[in-house]
Amino acid sequence: GHSRTALPPSPFTMFSMTAMSVAMPTVGVRRAAVSGRVAQAPAAAFPTMTGMSGASLGLRVEGLDHSLSFGVDAGSKFQMISHGKKVARLHRPADQRKSLLRNLTTDLLRYGRITTTMARAKAMRKPVEHMIQLGKDGGVHKKRQAEAYIFDKELVTALFAAAPERYTERTGGYTRIVRTLRRRGDNAEMAIIELV
C-alpha cells in the first residue's frame, strides 16, 4: 500500500476533540485521541472521579466501533436497566424469584390469607389468579399446568374441585390486597393478601 505522512498542524486543526477533552472536566467516558496509526486505548481505561467511575456508572466500551452500552454494575453482575418491564425482580435472580412466587402461591391457596411485603403481594397476584383461572376452566391439560406450578398435588385437586362453584360469577380479581403496619425491623411496607 501507500504510506501516509502526518500533515503539519494548520491553524484550522488546532481546535480538536483532544483539546476539548483536556479543557473539559471528566464526566463519563473519555477515549484517548488517535493520532496516525496508534492502537486504540484499552476498553478498561476509565477516568476515576470522586465517587463515580466508568465501572460504577455502567459505561462500557465494546469492540473497536466504540458502541456504548448503559447498565448498572451491581456488585459482580452487570445488569441492564429495566425500563418498561412489568415483572418485579424482588432483589433475586430468576430461579429464586420463580421459586419464591411458587411458594407464596401455594401458601395462599392453602391458607386463604397470608401476610407478606407489598412488593411480593403485588408480584404474586398474577400467578395466583392464573392458577384459579385454570381451576375454573378445568380439564386434564389445565390441571397438569397447575400441578407444574403449585408444589402440592392434593391442593391442586382441591382447587379444581372448589374453584368453579366459588368463582362462577367472577371473571377475575380473585385476590384482595390490604395494607397493614410496616415491618418493625426495616420499615418495609407490609400487606395482607387474601382470596376473595
In tens digits, the chain (196 residues) has pLDDT values of: 666 666 665 555 455 555 555 555 555 555 554 555 555 555 554 444 455 444 555 555 455 555 555 566 666 666 678 888 888 999 999 999 999 999 999 999 999 999 999 999 999 999 999 999 999 999 999 999 999 999 999 999 999 999 999 999 999 999 999 999 999 999 999 999 999 9
Residue 50 three-state SS:
coil
Give strand pairing partners of 78: 73
What is the bridge-based pairing of β-strands 67-74 and 59-62?
antiparallel
Q: Would you state the pLDDT for residue 27?
A: 55
16: left (phi over 0), alpha (psi -120 to 50) or beta: beta
Angle at 162 between CA 160 and CA 167, to 5 degrees: 100
Q: Would you state the pLDDT for residue 46?
A: 47
Residue 183 three-state SS:
coil
Q: Would you state the pLDDT for residue 49?
A: 47
Cell, residue 185 = 425491623
Q: Would you state the pLDDT for residue 69?
A: 52
